[in-house]
C-alpha cells in the first residue's frame, strides 16, 4: 500500500515537472506576427502553388480566419487541411492549426510567363502560453513567373511583404 502511494506521488511529481518544463519553453515575450507565422510559397507547376506557414511552438492559427487572394483573380477552390478542435472564449468551437501547415492553391488557368502576381495570405492567430491573440493580419507574397523555364527550374520566386489590416 505504501509502495503504491509512493508510485502515485512520484508519477504525479514527474507529470507536473514535465508540464512545467513544456510551458517553460514558451516565452512570455510575444513574437511579432510575421515571426510567429512565417510564410513561403513554392511552385508545384504552372497551375498551382503551395503556401507553407511555419507556426512557432506555443502559437496557433484560426482555420476560419485563413484566406487567400491573388491578383489577377485566378485562384480555384482552396481546400484547407483538417485542424484541431478548440473551445475558444472569443470564437466558440473552432478549428486551429498548431504546427507547420502546407496548403495547395490551384489556379483556374495557367499563369502567363514573364509576369508578377500578388498573393495575399490573411490570417489571425494567438500566442497560447500568454493568452495573447493578434489582430487579423495579412502578408503579401510576390509570385514571379520567369520568361523561360528549363526542366526542374522553379516557376515562381517569392518576395514576402507584411502588413496589418
* DSSP string covering 135-160: PPEEEEEEEEE-S---TT--S-EEEE
> Above 50 in pLDDT, residue 147?
yes
Which among 42, 20, 37 is positioned nearest to 97, based on CA atoms?
A: 37
- The reported pLDDT for the residue numbered 27 is 82
* % of the chain residues with pLDDT over 70: 73
* pLDDT score at 34: 92
Q: What's the pTM value of the predicted model, to 2 decimals?
A: 0.73
pLDDT at residue 94, as a whole number? 95
Provide the 10 A C-beta neighbour count for residue 127.
21
- Identify the pLDDT of residue 144: 75
Q: 13: part of which helix (H) or strand (E)?
A: helix 2-24
C-alpha 138/C-alpha 164 separation (Å) is 6
Q: Is the pLDDT of residue 38 over 90?
A: yes
Mean model confidence pLDDT for the chain: 78
CB atoms within 10 A of CB 53: 20
**Segment 21-30 mean pLDDT:** 68
Amino acid at each position: 500500500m505504501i509502495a503504491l502511494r509512493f508510485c502515485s506521488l512520484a508519477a504525479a511529481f514527474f507529470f507536473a515537472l514535465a508540464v512545467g518544463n513544456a510551458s517553460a519553453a514558451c516565452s512570455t515575450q510575444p513574437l511579432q506576427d510575421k515571426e510567429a507565422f512565417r510564410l513561403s510559397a513554392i511552385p508545384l507547376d504552372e497551375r498551382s502553388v503551395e503556401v507553407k506557414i511555419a507556426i512557432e511552438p506555443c502559437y496557433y492559427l484560426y482555420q476560419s480566419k485563413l484566406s487567400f487572394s491573388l491578383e489577377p483573380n485566378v485562384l480555384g477552390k482552396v481546400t484547407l487541411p483538417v485542424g484541431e478542435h478548440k473551445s475558444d472564449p472569443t470564437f466558440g468551437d473552432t478549428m486551429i492549426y498548431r504546427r507547420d501547415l502546407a496548403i495547395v492553391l490551384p489556379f483556374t488557368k495557367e499563369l502567363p510567363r514573364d509576369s508578377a502576381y500578388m498573393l495575399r495570405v490573411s490570417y489571425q492567430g494567438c500566442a497560447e502560453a500568454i493568452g495573447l491573440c493578434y489582430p487579423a493580419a495579412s502578408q503579401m507574397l510576390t509570385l514571379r513567373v520567369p520568361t523561360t523555364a528549363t526542366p526542374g527550374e522553379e516557376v515562381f520566386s517569392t518576395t514576402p511583404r507584411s502588413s496589418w489590416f
